[in-house]
Amino acid sequence: MENNVKEVACHSENVTSCRKSHHPERVKKDLTTRLNRVEGQIRGIKGMIDNDVYCDDIITQLSATQSALNSVAKILLEGHIKGCVVDRISEGDDEVLDELVVTIQRLMKK
């Protein structure tokens, strides 16, 4: 992951209100670029299936696509921990730790 990932920060405006992330434009652009690449990979996989490409080759592309999605998730998780989680703990909201455990468990299922 790039050094600028440390700048990813999301903040809870109010625990009871709708929470939003606040990422620097550079990080948003990086995430969008990565997701656009994943979108292209998915279209490519669909084309491979339409063209009856050998299954092992499709599985290889699926693996690469999953890896790319995992990379996006890692960037977001790091920003969430360094931003949201730290902020909410400093505000006395320890429930964020339970939320974080659930989030990590969801990521590990994949």
In the chain, what are the domain boundaries?
22-109
Q: Place domain 22-109 in its CATH homologous superfamily.
A: Metal-sensitive repressor, helix protomer (1.20.58.1000)
Task: Compute the distance between CA of residue 104 and CA of residue 27 in angstroms, rounded to an integer.
Answer: 21
pTM across the whole model: 0.76
Of the candidates 18, 2, 71, the residue with the CA atom closest to the CA atom of residue 10 = 18
What is the predicted pLDDT for the residue at 1? 45
Q: What is the 8-class DSSP label of residue 15?
A: T
Q: For residue range 21-79, what is the model confidence (pLDDT) as tens digits?
A: 778 899 999 999 999 999 999 999 999 999 999 999 999 999 999 999 999 999 999 98
Cβ atoms < 10 Å from Cβ of 97: 12
Helix (H, G, I), strand (E, B) or coil at 18: coil
